Structure 1
Amino acid sequence: MNSSYQGGVVDEETDTFQTLSQTIGSNIKKISHNVSSMSKMVNQLQTPQDSQELRKQLRQIQNYTQKLAKDTSTMLMELMKMPTDHPAQKLTRDRLSDEYLATLNAFQATQRTAAQKSKEDVRKVKAQNINIGDPFAMGGNKELVKMGETNTRKQEQMTMQKERELQELEQRERDIRQLENDIMDVNQIFKNLGTVIHDQGAIVDSIESSVEYTSQNVESAVQEIQQAGNYKNKLRKKKVYLTLILIVIISIILIIIFHN
């Protein structure tokens, strides 16, 4: 009776593990596919293919992928906390963790590129439209009075154009702020996962931290080699100085002997 109950618990945990693993694996593929689509869209920014519709699609897929990444992170942390008595489960858990972190790195890199290009666009628009904050500043009243009906219509069209530019600029600035918040959220996901995986006794390094760690090791090795080389040079110089001093002393002694 007791044994049967325990077996039922084990089977239930195994089923939960498999369900979570399959869902996480499916989400990782979706995120990876979305990142690929986002990357193509980001590459079209600031090109003739750039448009408001493109930016709208990019914003939508970025928001969806951000939510999917958060949900997947929650499930992965739940999976990491589950007991893994079977080696196959541990391998599956570690593989999913590595794949997810690599995909998250790619997602964050695409976000940063999109944010950087959006900031460049905003700076250009502001530089080209000094009076963008005042779209109705088109001239004095005296000039407006002298204008005919045609010129007045052109003036209204210019004003409407300025209003659209102002709205687009405000939307881009909102998108930038949202992207920056999303990037911070991804950083928090990295920290949370790192804490959970560290508690499980595993080592997790993102691509950036791995490169930084390798660079530090190389710099440390170079410094040690330089220190060893400096020590050898000092030792060699010391031997030369001692030899010269010994020669001088012997020469003085010989001169004194021959002189006497």
Structure 2
Amino acid sequence: MESSYQGGVSFEDRDNNFQRLSQTIASNIKKISQNVSSMSKMVNQLQTPQDSQEHRNQLRQIQNYNQKLARDTSSLIMELMKLPTDQPAHKMTRERLRDEYMITLNSFQSTQRLAAQKTKEDVRKVKAQSASINIGDPFAMSGDSSNKELMEMGEPTLREQEQVMQTERSLVELEERERDIRQLESDIMDVNQIFKELGTMIHSQGEVVNSIESSVEYATVNVESGTQELREAANYKNKLRKKKVYLFLALIIVVSILLIIIFHK
């Protein structure tokens, strides 16, 4: 009975837990990757005729969902990495899922950066247009002083009402896009934190030398690598020595030729 337990947890339960976590992580990575693909297509449609506020809202929803899914998956991977296991297959599965997740997370962050970049460009354009037409002053946009006189005398014209409504819509879109930028920048920092946490976990576990067998293999590789470096250094010194000898011989020949020419004259 004792041989089937370790730390109060049976090997069977531990194996089931590993399988459950690895399957959930694999499913999440697939979902994140699919969402990143959808996001990438939607980001490429920004600043094109397909762009609209509804389009941006859908992009924001996918981005928010993917951000939460990435954070949950990170927690699951850390839990998986903490599980003790002596099975080579489990170690390979754990490393494969970790690497796939980090690759997918990197693609997700790249898409976030591109979305933030395009949104910032939109905000700059809107602000530039606002500065040029003095947004907030419907008379300045019309460029017609007679319209201002009409406004003072009575009801605003239809054109002026449309300009005021357009100004209000521009202000609302500007606020929404600035809010999107702040959210995207916060999410990008969150993804950076995930990378940092995973890196710390990998470093603290020292998976390269986490067993006697791997330590021996690691030492063997280092010895072989050191021997190879010494061999390469010796070859380099020999080549350098030969090069010096050749240069010295060449110098002697040149000097000899010069002396022959001088004495001959």
Name 1:146's counterpart in structure 2. Answer: 150
**Aligned-partner residue type, residue 63 of structure 2:** Q
Q: Displacement of 1:84 after TM fit?
A: 1.4
Q: Displacement of 1:116 after TM fit?
A: 1.5
Aligned residues of 2:139 and 2:148 also touching (Cα < 8 A): no
Distance 1:8 1:116, change over 3 A: closer
Q: Displacement of 1:58 after TM fit?
A: 0.2
**Aligned-partner residue type, residue 247 of structure 1:** I
Name 2:115's counterpart in structure 1. Answer: 114
Distance 1:233 1:174, change over 3 A: farther
Task: Measure the CA separation in 2 of the matches of 1:16 and 1:167.
Answer: 49
Point out where structure 2 has 5 or more consecutive residues left out of the alignment: 209-236
Name 1:79's counterpart in structure 2. Answer: 80
Aligned residues of 2:147 and 2:157 also touching (Cα < 8 A): no
Q: Displacement of 1:134 after TM fit?
A: 4.1
Aligned residues of 1:42 and 1:113 also touching (Cα < 8 A): yes
Name 1:185's counterpart in structure 2. Answer: 190
Task: Identify the match of residue 176 of structure 2 among 159, 167, 171.
Answer: 171
Q: Please say if 1:23 is aligned against 2:33.
A: no
Task: Measure the CA separation in 2 of the matches of 1:109 and 1:122.
Answer: 20
Task: Measure the CA separation in 1 of the matches of 2:156 and 2:162.
Answer: 10
- Structure 1 window deviating more from structure 2 (120-129 vs 133-142): it is 133-142
Task: Measure the CA separation in 2 of the matches of 1:122 and 1:11.
Answer: 57
Distance 1:236 1:8, change over 3 A: closer
**Aligned-partner residue type, residue 114 of structure 2:** T
Cα deviations by residue, 1:83-114 (Å, 9 ceiling, x for unpaired):
11111211211111121111111111111111
Cα deviations by residue, 1:184-237 (Å, 9 ceiling, x for unpaired):
21122112112212333347xxxxxxxxxxxxxxxxxxxxxxxx9xx8999877
Higher relative contact order (CA 8 A, sep 6+): 1
**Total equivalences in the alignment:** 230
Aligned residues of 2:138 and 2:163 also touching (Cα < 8 A): no
- TM-score of the pair, normalised by structure 1: 0.76
Tell me the SS of whatever aligns to 2:131.
coil
- TM-score of the pair, normalised by structure 2: 0.75
Give the share of equivalent positions with the same residue, in percent: 60
Task: Measure the CA separation in 2 of the matches of 1:249 and 1:102.
Answer: 70
Q: Displacement of 1:118 after TM fit?
A: 1.2
